[in-house]
Amino acid sequence: MPDLAAQQLHADPRLAQARQLIVDSLADAQQSIDRPRTADPDKAHAYQQQLDAFAKLRGGALPIPYLGSGLGNGPLVELLDGSVKYDMICGIGVHGLGHSDSGLINAGLDGALADAVMQGNLQQNSESKTLCDDLVERACRQGAKLAHCFLTTSGSMANDNALKIIFQKHAPADRIMAFGKCFSGRTLAMASVTDKAAYRDGLPETVKVGYLPFLKAGEVGKSIDSTIKHLDNHVARYAGRVAGVMFEMIQGEGGYNAGNAEYFTAVMSRCKELGLAVWVDEIQSFGRTSAPFAFQHYGLDDLIDVVSVGKMTQVCATLFTSDYNPRPGLISQTFTGASSQIFAAREVLQRLDEGGVFGTVGLNMTYRQRFAEELQAIHQRHPDKLGPSLFGEGTMIGFEVYDGDAGRTKAVMNRLYDLGVIAFLCGGDPLRLRFLPPVAVMQPGDVQAVCSLLEQALMDTTAA
């Protein structure tokens, strides 16, 4: 007889049977979600009414006209209008295991069976501790010294906590540095860090931020000199007042601009010489390169002090070295995450590891190559419509259509959506399209299917 009542519950064979019934029923329902499907004209009116009502309630239209039915199948998702689409954006990188994954549904059942819906700073179950262990263990695999992990509910909060930890350690320094075009979230503090005027329109400046120029493609040596010169100048101008530098190593919102190992090693090493905290925002890049963390992909393990993660991890977190452990009272929250999120996070981490996602020939890097080949072939056929370059890194895949013209790029995205592929925008001038594909649950043929719909969308928008 198990000694805890909870163990007794989890050992009950009726639970195993119930789980099996749920998974079987899921598999049956998923059978019809096997390829993209256009919307059902009979559902169009009701769908549009729901979208309009939702837009009214939230005070503005949704970024894309998406209302899910609640069921999907790997990279495919069913919407309430009866359409089935390839989801190549996954909530901007959240659904790393795609849609209606049976492992995640099982994790959700574990969450549902937990005694409380939400876990938080005052009361956490052992799965919260295990998740922190899982994240720290992965972060330290190549030698980083990240000893601590604090869970939280959004990427912006993980960044807010990172910033507080860094400021406390470097007090009375009151300035931070980041890179031009960075995106770090939407809290009041992060709206000051994010380098986009529209996202801080009408807001007071809450954090004093100096911006560094990012790596210019093909100009590594020059970029290193220029970034370090800006860094040195700023630190000299505000002597003793700069606490650290925030690195978004593969800029997401900014346009899928990726740095590289040589550039980051040089700039981060200079930060260390200047006594500044090195903070990496991995909220979009976690799980998308040849290693769990992009700082590992670039081999920067010795240089990192603080890391924020989110999106694919389901629960967001701030990881930091012992040197940065804040004094009691600085960070705390009612909610660290829902029980279901915490179980889901553990499932995602395990599946990424066991599913062959990482490594130089793991799924992330091989799927990037597959997309590169397909997109290159479209470029060869239509050099006026699709540009030759692939932006981003790993499964952060960016490309340019019609030289980044905003109107035509949006038209291609919308047409692609109607044809059955969800993509999204990034950058500004030029505007780009981005994919964040859930490669752990994809088949190579999906890449061809997605890219042939992209080619169709390009043809259709030319004709329009």
Ligand X SMILES: Cc1ncc(COP(=O)(O)O)c(C=O)c1O
Residue ranges in contact with ligand X by CB under 6 A: 92, 154-156, 159, 183-185, 248, 252, 281, 283-284, 310
Tokens describing residue 367: 């799927």
**Please, what is the minimum distance in Å from the beta carbon of residue 253 to ligand X?**
6
End-to-end CA distance of the chain: 70
Q: Which is nearer to ligand X, 157 or 411 (CB)?
A: 157
Measured CA to CA, the distance from residue 75 to residue 95 in angstroms comes to 9
Q: Which is nearer to ligand X, 83 or 194 (CB)?
A: 194
For residue 139, which phi and psi values (nearest 5 degrees)? Answer: -65, -30
**Please, what is the minimum distance in Å from the beta carbon of residue 54 to ligand X?**
19
Q: Which is nearer to ligand X, 183 or 320 (CB)?
A: 183
Q: Which is nearer to ligand X, 235 or 426 (CB)?
A: 426
Bridge pairing between strands 242-247 and 208-212? unpaired
Q: Which is nearer to ligand X, 178 or 412 (CB)?
A: 178
CB nearest ligand X: which residue? 155
Give which of 442, 445, 452 is closest to 364, Cα–Cα.
442
Q: Which is nearer to ligand X, 108 or 252 (CB)?
A: 252
- 247-267 b/e with 16+ CB inside 10 Å = b? bbbbbbbbbbbbbeeebbbbb
**Please, what is the minimum distance in Å from the beta carbon of residue 175 to ligand X?**
20
Dihedral sign of CA atoms 222, 224, 227, 232 in order: negative
Query: Contact at 8 Å (CB) between 392 and 423?
Result: no
**Please, what is the minimum distance in Å from the beta carbon of residue 237 to ligand X?**
27
Measured CA to CA, the distance from residue 415 to residue 457 in angstroms comes to 5
Q: Which is nearer to ligand X, 94 or 113 (CB)?
A: 94
**Please, what is the minimum distance in Å from the beta carbon of residue 64 to ligand X?**
15
**Please, what is the minimum distance in Å from the beta carbon of residue 285 to ligand X?**
7
Query: Contact at 8 Å (CB) between 62 and 56?
Result: no
Q: Which is nearer to ligand X, 22 or 92 (CB)?
A: 92
**Please, what is the minimum distance in Å from the beta carbon of residue 240 to ligand X?**
28
Tokens describing residue 291: 């290693």
Tokens describing residue 232: 């040195």
Q: Which is nearer to ligand X, 47 or 183 (CB)?
A: 183
